[in-house]
Amino acid sequence: MKVSKLKKFDAAEHLRTPEARAEYLSIVLADGDPAEVRDALNVVARAQGMSEVAKAAGVTREGLYKTLGAGGNPEFATIMRVIGAMGIRLSAQAANAKPKKRAVA
């Protein structure tokens, strides 16, 4: 029996709409882990197009890869520019508020 190689899962391939990308970031932000948020921003940027996001954020493509990569530690101002470039807006909710039921697109 021949065993074929499995393709590595890449969430960026499945975040095709702005709503799906925003929902994905919302779920990750709710957990509050900074490294996961950075990784999620990387996934969303790749899903949308790294070059497009970098240009809109006013950074180089290479700089964005480095900032959102595994060793990156972006400043909050950079994160806000990247999120804005993605066409996403952050919002806040009380920590003790019941989360809204979410439908994943």
Residues 34-62 have pLDDT tens digits of 999 999 999 999 999 999 999 999 999 99
Q: Is the pLDDT of residue 93 over 90?
A: no
What is the gyration radius of the CA atoms in the chain, in angstroms?
Answer: 15
Q: What percent of the chain has pLDDT over 70?
A: 91
Residue 67, pLDDT score: 93
pLDDT of residue 104: 61
pLDDT at 76 over 70: yes
Instruction: Choose the weakest-confidence range: 3-7, 10-14, 16-20, 66-70.
Output: 3-7
pLDDT at 99 over 70: no
- Dihedral Cα 35, 41, 42, 47, nearest 10 deg: 150
Q: Output the CA–CA distances (angstroms, integers) from residue 52 to 13, 22, 74, 81, in the order listed.
A: 16, 17, 18, 13
If phi > 0 it is left, if psi is from -120 to 50 it is alpha, else beta; for residue 5 that is: beta
Can you say how many angstroms the Cα of residue 17 is from the centroid of all Cα atoms in its chain?
13
Domains of the chain, residue spans: 16-85
DSSP state of 105: -
